[in-house]
Amino acid sequence: MTPEPPDIDPPPILGTWGRLYLAVALFLALLIVLFAVFTEVFTP
Amino acid sequence: MRPLDWWVLAASLVFIISYGLYRSRDTGSVNKYLLAGKTMPWYAMALSIMATQASAITFISTSGQAYVDGMRFVQFYFGLPLAMIIISATAVPLFHRSNVYTAYEYLEQRFDAKTRVLVGIIFLIQRGIAVGVALYAPALVLTVMLGWPDQYTTVIMGTLVAAYTTFGGIKAVTWTDFQQMLVMFFGLFLALGMAIYLLPSDVGLGGALQLAGAAGRLNAVVTSFDWNDRYNLFNGLLGGMFLALSYFGCDQSQVQRYLTGRSIAQSRLSLLFNAVAKIPMQFFILAIGAIVFVFYTFEKPPLVFHQVELSNISRESEYPALAARYDNAFDGRRQAARQYLNAPGEETLAAYRQAQKNFEGVRKDGVALIEKKSGAGFNDTNYIFLSFVMKYLPAGLVGLILAAIFAAAMSTISAEINSLATVTVIDIYQRHIRKGATDSHYLLASRLATVFWGIYAIVTAGFGRSLGSLIEAVNMLGSLFYGGLLGVFVLAFGFRRVGGTAAFIGVLAGEAAIFYARFFTEISFLWYNVIGCVVVVAVGLALSLPRLHARA
């Protein structure tokens, strides 16, 4: 992964912006799975 | 409205506006007036971005959308987090380093002046149409609540918002947005809590979910693919991502929020907060609509939720028979729902679904009667949540929910007026009409432009009256222009060798393609952004081929 330019501070959590972006993408995947389960459970 | 509701509503609005103006005392230069001197912390920008997008339409129309069509609308937002990641990684550092007031100013640095003006004008047209609709939505609230003509209410709301935006500039907009979003969160929790509390005691939340699911109202994810279906997983992820890329990356009303950040990192955090929080918030609002749907399974709703139209058709000769059929259909559905809850099974489920179908059929006949009488289309989606709030919520809470709706409306309108004024002054007036004037001259021009766009919003608000579901109307209108905007920014960021003329012609071709798709095909509006963007990029690259070959 290419290092961030010096005018960009690191994020307050997870150390790098790349890791933070990955965490957000994983959160989206988790939400979609949860919503799919929700739909499946409550749609007879 | 009871006196306590009026007090709560007035106190909330006075506090929000006073706080915003207090935080925006120092607006003595164009930079401070339009960019807050680039001093904003990430949390203020984050809530301002969220509040700008969450208009009154979100409250009024989204919950109604779940009532009539289920929760599948949430998929529309699935592409948003991906878009936020892309914008954070690409656009945010470029905009910050370019020291621009508007996203379109960057296009002149990258391409040329004509491309900047073209895109600026497209923004002014698109956002100019949307600001009228955004102002109409809260006017709708007061029309239902007080029976006032919506012309009066648009003037009152528009004047109030234009006044604090003109005085306080973007600082007032951002800090009022911040407060408004907090009021909205509070209002949302209360609305859902009350909807659950008001359910019959023998139904409860579990029974409500069972009934809403059986009626197809909990369809949060639809995996079947259809180009013409607006809301399914694939359209939401891809079409939604393109729409969000266009809106958050190319629309000045959003770009200006994060241009006020004190650093690239602060601006990025504000976008990523939205990436995480937006979908749960929309899910929450849709859940309110689904629960209200179940509430009205046991408490008889009006035949249509627009009281004035209902009273108009009640004088028609066909109405008594229709009302009797409606009473029967409601009783039948309520009975079928109880039977399904008491003995869930194939037979009771089929009976409940059939009863729901009958009920919807009678409601459609009521709508058809209104349309026959008025000679125009009719859609009462926007009135469902409001009718519930006004009739069933206790004193004080009605005022608070209304304050939340007003907060949502004001935050969107103020940001739109502010950004329209910014593009007018920075991209048009300062660049082409009056170059080299003093800072105080441009500051005055910015304030006057804000007043102009406030008046414009009031005058064009009536346009919303002829539209159906406002949330869909706003997104559809945006989609007519966003593809072109997105395409030119993709060329700017991703293709260094494409020149200004190629980008300019590309934008015109992209817009032509979108309008063709709108008026001559059945393609869902979510795909307009993709189509527009692809055409802009393709035409831009094709026209640049000779240049690329020459360099090679």
How many C-beta neighbours within 10 Å does residue B387 have? 20
Whether A14 shows a pLDDT value over 80: the answer reads yes
Give the SS3 label for residue B371. Answer: helix
Residue B38 and residue B262 in contact, taking contact as beta carbons nearer than 8 Å: yes
pLDDT score, position B62: 86
Residue contact A17–B93, C-beta within 8 A: no
B160 contact partners, CB below 8 Å, separation of at least 6 = B13, B17, B410
**pTM listed for this prediction:** 0.86
Cα separation of B185 and B271, whole Å?
18
Nearest by Cα to B192 from B294, B70, B275: B294
Q: How far is CA B309 from CA B144, B367, B372, B383, B472, in A?
A: 11, 9, 12, 12, 22
pLDDT score, position B469: 55
Cα separation of B355 and B341, whole Å?
14
Residue contact B213–A43, C-beta within 8 A: yes
Residue B161 and residue B56 in contact, taking contact as beta carbons nearer than 8 Å: no
B351 contact partners, CB below 8 Å, separation of at least 6 = B336, B339, B340
Residue contact A42–B218, C-beta within 8 A: yes
Per-residue pLDDT tens, chain B, 552 aa: give them. Answer: 789 988 998 998 888 888 878 877 777 888 888 888 888 889 999 988 888 877 777 777 888 888 988 899 999 899 999 999 999 999 999 999 888 999 999 999 999 999 999 999 999 988 888 888 888 877 776 676 667 777 777 888 888 889 888 888 888 888 888 888 888 888 888 888 999 999 998 888 999 999 999 988 998 888 877 766 678 888 889 888 988 998 899 889 889 888 998 999 999 999 999 999 999 999 999 999 999 999 999 999 998 888 878 888 888 888 889 899 999 999 999 999 999 989 888 899 999 999 999 999 999 998 888 888 877 777 788 788 888 888 888 888 888 888 888 887 888 888 899 999 999 999 999 998 988 889 999 999 999 999 999 999 888 887 666 555 555 666 677 788 888 888 999 999 888 888 889 999 999 999 999 999 988 888 877 788 889 999 999 999 999 887 666 665
Residue contact B81–A10, C-beta within 8 A: no
Min distance A10 CA to chain B CA atoms (Å):
7
pLDDT score, position B379: 77
- CA dihedral B159→B162→B166→B168, nearest 10 degrees, is 100
Residues 90-119 of B with CB under 8 A from A: 93, 97
Residue contact A36–B221, C-beta within 8 A: yes
From chain B, the residues in CB contact with A20 under 8 A are: 272
- Its ipTM equals 0.92
